[in-house]
Structures are given as structure tokens and as C-alpha cells.
Amino acid sequence: MSRNGRLATVLGLFVVAVGLVVAAVAAFLTPGIPGGVVNFTSGSAGQPVSLVVQTVPSIGVGFGDHPTWVSYLVKTPSGKWVHSTTWQLPANTVVNMTILQYDSGSPLRNQQWGQVTGTLGNTMSLNGTATSAYNSNTGDGVGHTFTVPALGLDIPLVGIGGGSTNACSQAPCGTNFDHNTITFSFKTPGPGNYPWQCFVPCGLGYLFGNGGPMSTQGYMGGFLKVVA
């Protein structure tokens, strides 16, 4: 083989190898945000943003790789339930958030997360009742929390009754199933990416309940993407 022939062979093999590596990287290490970003900044400036979220015991088929995992769904401004945990919000704006909680509860690993903090008035409405602290060791327990550590925001999402016979098993859940409606308001800070997560060990079957959906972005945590 001539020198040019060898050069072409090596270059060709190199291109093939690079292609394989890029394919492997693309397959296993996808850049970007799972589920994409749901945009809530289209409203008029300064007006409160309405954000509706539901928690579901299992996300079901059609919403990603792990149909049996617990997750959040968010309602887009056009009224469609989508599986995304990164939400784009306008800065310095009041967000009126409604969480429809379809999951059953358990005691918290740390009861501190039973206290409502960081909302306007440090309170939330649980099915219409103002609540500022919920004892997860009694009653129905807490199913999940909606917590933004950087904002000091923490809302315990009280679970539905353990004996419920009308529990939703798979997303998206309709309001005809048993659920708790939790509403609260908070004000977004300046622009930035603020991680939020759940503090209930709901990754059942993993040590301390914090593996699986708790340790995979797009299930029990995501970002508030606050933009100017």
C-alpha cells in the first residue's frame, strides 16, 4: 500500500472510530434536560403565573424509560399534561402553584420538611384548610415535598389515605381519583437555575428510599429556570 493509501486507511478508520464514540456518547450521555423545559413566561409581565402540577404513584408507559417510577407531571399553559420537571418562570413574579397529590404518604425521614416555609405567608392550603406544619408521623403521612433549597421553599404534599380504594395508579390522573389539592404562592427570585427536589424517600426499593427516581433528574427533582 502506498503512503497515501495508508493515510487514507488510517484516516478512514479514525473517522469510523470517532463516529462510534460519538454514537456511544449520544446514546448514553445525552446532553440537555430530560423532558425539556416547559415555558411559563408567555403571560404579560408582572402578572402572577399559574402553575399546576400533579404527582403520580407511577408514571406509566409513554412517559419515559421507567414506567413504574413515581414522578411529577406539569400542565403546560395550553392545558396538556407533560412529563417535565424543569419549568421556565419569569423573575420576581408571584407564582400561584397548585399541586394535585395522588400518591399515598409515609413518615418523613426528617420531620423538618413537614413545616411550610418560603411561601407567601409561610402557609399553604391543604384542600382549603390553611396549614403551616404537618405531622408526618400521624395521619396519612407525607407523600412528597416540593422543596427549593436555594429559596428556602418547602411544602409537604400530604398523602392520600392509605386505605383508599379509588387511588390513581398511572399518569395522567384525572380529578375523579382520590387526591389532595395543595395550593400556595411564592415569589420567584432573580434570574438563575434553582434546583428543586422532593425530600420524601419515595425511591422505594433503593437504600434509604433515595435512589431510582430520587436520583434521576426528571422524576423527583428538576430546575426552576427563572429568566428575566
Partner 1 sequence: MTISAERPTDVVASISAPPPSAASSWTQRPGWLSQHLGTAIVGAVLGYVLGHWFGNFVSSSYPYIANSGQNAIADALGLSVGVLGWLLGIGALNYPLAKMIGREGGEEPAVEGWSKYFRYSLDHKTVGMQYIVGVLLFMFTGGLLAMAIRTELLNPTTHVFSPDTYIKIVSEHGTIMMMMATSIIVGPLGNYLVPLMIGARRMAFPRIEAFSFWIFVAGYMVIFSALPFGGFPTGWTGYAPLQTQAGPGMVSYLLGFAVIGLGMMAAGFNIAVTIINYRAPGMTWSRLPIFVWSILATAALLTLATPVLFAGGLFGLLDKTIQTSFYVTEHGGSSYLWQNLFWFFGHPEVYIMALPGFGIVGEIMPVFTRKPLFAYKVAAAGMIGVALLSFFVWQHHLFQSGINPDMRPLFMLTTELISIPTGFIFLVGMGTLYKAKIRYEVPMLFCMALFFNFLIGGVTGVFLSDVPVNVTVHGGFFVLSHFHYTIMGGLLFAFMAGLYFWLPKMTGRMMNSRIGKWHFWTMFIFFNLTFFPMFVIGLLGQPRRVFTYASNLQGLNDFSSVSAFLLGISFLIFFANLMWSMFISPVKAPANPWDSLGLEWQTANPVPPYNFERIPVIMTDPYRYSEPGAPAFADMGDGLTQSSSTTSSDQA
Partner 2 sequence: MAAENSKGEVNDLRRMTMIWVVLSVVADLLFWFLVGPHVPPGRMTETAVNNQRTFNVLLVIALPVLIGVWVYLGYAATMWSAKREGVAESVGGEGARTNRKVQVWWIALTSVIVIFLAGYGTFAVIAEHGSGGGEGPNPVWSPSGATQAETAALSGSSSWTPGHVLVVQVIGQQWKFTYRYPSFGGFESDKLVLPVNTEIAFNVTSLDVIHSFWAYQLSVKADANPQLNNVAYTETKHTGNFTVRCSELCGLWHGSMYNFGKVVSSTDFMNWASTTQSANAANTANLPPFAWTYVPDANGASGGWYPDGTVTPYSTVETYGSKTPAS
| Residue 73, strand partner residues | 54
Give the whole-angstrom CA distance, residue 108 versus residue 202.
10
Minimum distance of partner 1 from residue 101's CB (angstroms): 19
By CB under 8 A, tell whether 125 contacts partner 2. Answer: no
State the DSSP string of 112-123.
GGGB-BSSGGG-
Strands 94-101 and 49-56: parallel
Distance of CA 221 to the CA centre of its chain: 4
Please name the residues in contact with 188: beta carbons below 8 A apart, sequence gap of 6 or more: 89, 90, 91, 92, 93, 94, 95, 224, 226
Residue 147 touches partner 2, criterion: CB under 8 A: yes
Q: Is 207 among the residues that bind partner 1 (CB under 8 A)?
A: yes
Q: Is 91 in the site for partner 1 (CB under 8 A)?
A: no
Residues near partner 2 (CB under 8 A), total: 39
3 interacts with, out of partner 2, partner 1, none, CB within 5 to 8 A per kind: partner 1
Instruction: Please answer whether residues 71 and 23 qualify as being in contact, where contact means their C-beta atoms are separated by less than 8 angstroms.
Output: no
Q: Interface with partner 2 includes 28 (CB under 8 A)? A: no
Residue type, 48: P
81 binds, options partner 1, partner 2, none, Cβ within 5 to 8 A by partner type: none
Contacting residues toward partner 2, per CB under 8 A: 106-112, 114-115, 117, 122, 132-133, 135-137, 147, 149-150, 152, 154, 195, 197, 199-201, 203-210, 214-217, 221
Contacting residues toward partner 1, per CB under 8 A: 3, 6-7, 9-10, 14, 21, 24-25, 27-34, 58, 66, 68-69, 192-193, 195, 204-208, 210-212, 215-218
